[in-house]
Chain A
Amino acid sequence: MRLHVDWTRCDGHGACTELLPELLTTDEWGFPLLRDDQREPVVPTDVEGFARRAVRTCPLQALRLVE
């Protein structure tokens, strides 16, 4: 399972970076920055729950989990 950011929707609210520090940090403008420099990083099984919560929590529905 991979994490997909819809950059056309993301407004840099930061909810996802708080829930998923394993995968995400923020850039100097507050937008999510993927830690391993991948476009769609693989979500490790042990943080899948947090990833689902991040998807639900994003106020702009800018996150997706994709196969």
Chain B
Amino acid sequence: MTGLLVDAPAGNSRLLGRAPDLPLPHLGAQALIALVEQAGLTGRGGAGFPTARKLASVAGRSPVVVGNAMEGEPLSTKDAVLLSRAPGLVVDGLSLLGVALGAQRVLLATGPEVPSGAAREAARGSRVEVLDLAGGFVAGQESALVNQVTGRAGVPSDPLVPVYHRGVGGRPTLVLNAESLAHLALVARYGAAWFRSLGTPSDPGTFLASVSGSVPRTVDRPGVLEVPRGTPLRAVLSAARTDLDRVAGVLVGGYHGAWVPAARLDVLLTTSDLARFGASPGAGVVHVLDRDTCPLALAASVAGYLAGQGARQCGPCVNGLPRMAETLRRLSVPGADPALVGEVARLQGLLHGRGACAHPDGTVRFVASTMRAFADHVETHLDGACDAPAR
């Protein structure tokens, strides 16, 4: 399913509707940065960094510009949908930056789950080079992506030298998510006020949400929806035809995200409202936990997946993530040793802040949120019961 909760001039969805009815304007670096700053666009790939500041960090330095459609997050499908439905907007965003920033090269990096055919077609006659790259959960991390494009192993680098200083081929490099590029292509045409006409004053615009459920029956129409920032989570679940009576919690932001408890579905999808739960809109993942799915079994399985997806470079991650996954697995067995709860907490502290990239911290965020949001369920396990069958 693809769908929308928005109404906008370029069709009834901004990003996935009709092609724009205005040509792409030519903008200089300063005009573009000012426009994006006024619009208040933030990155749609996960970190949510202000896009204007990223543009300013490489302006006038003959950078390499990389569109990021690696989509290594298993619960996210929005970049694949965007590149199938509106590849022209993503290519436009890259072309716009190529001219404005005086880019040396302009690349679009697609992961193995993202079909690149339509983008290649859209890029014909432009300077945009479309690359099909190897995947994995961390392959889309900025420095890992830069390394793979440069011909090295696609794993993260030490963050002491950021990619905006030295990236692809040693050039200052700007990496922007594919959806952020599509928003740029529209902001350049329709302006900052148009962008801000949806969303909230402090978190403007729309975003693509990938909605899914832990079992098929919970969400009747899973898929990608375009949603204004500030929309209640409940409205997004309803639009995807979720059986709200079955919701035990909602994972927002993906495997590095956090849970919104079932009693708090009225939370608004903004950066500040989600921060109360340790979550953020991230790359737009909304994953519904069915009340028959054991949250600890799910967490153990996610932690096991994340442990296997590490780049195998940093000691704390190589040793700590498998230990965390194994501890959660033991805890997910009814009648588990109560000491395992303390061990999970100890491992959270041991992993946090130790590693070249955000993989250990993101995993800790998810695990900490699981232990917080499902504390009652943990107690049930320690008492020897589990009211949810294994996944």
Contacts and interface: CB of A to CB of B under 8 A. Distances in A.
Nearest to A6: B158
A19 interface: no
Contact of B158 (A9, A27, A37): A9
A29 B315 contact: yes
B160 A7 contact: no
Interface string A1-13: 0001111111110
B354 interface: yes
A38 interface: yes
Contact of A33 (B158, B314, B350): B350
B278 interface: no
Interface range for B: 10 to 19
B319 interface: yes
B350 A7 contact: no
A51 to B, nearest CB: 16
Contacts of A30: 315
Interface in A20-66: 27-31, 33-34, 37-39, 64, 66
**A-B residue pairs, 9 tightest by C-beta:** A7-B314, A31-B315, A6-B158, A29-B319, A8-B313, A39-B353, A7-B356, A8-B356, A7-B355
Contacts of B155: 8
B159 to A, nearest CB: 9
Contact of B352 (A7, A11, A37): A37
23 contacts: A5-B354, A6-B158, A7-B315, A8-B157, A8-B158, A8-B313, A10-B315, A27-B319, A28-B319, A29-B315, A29-B316, A29-B319, A29-B320, A30-B315, A31-B316, A31-B354, A33-B350, A34-B353, A34-B354, A37-B349, A37-B353, A64-B160, A66-B160
Most buried by A among B155, B157, B316, B320: B316
A49 B313 CA distance: 29
Given A7-B356, A11-B315, 4 more contacts: A27-B319, A28-B319, A29-B316, A31-B315
Contacts of A66: 160
A10 B314 CA distance: 7
A4 B160 contact: yes
Which one of B158, B160, B352, B353 has the greatest number of beta carbons of chain A within 10 Å?
Answer: B158
B147 to A, nearest CB: 11
Interface in B333-368: 349-350, 352-356
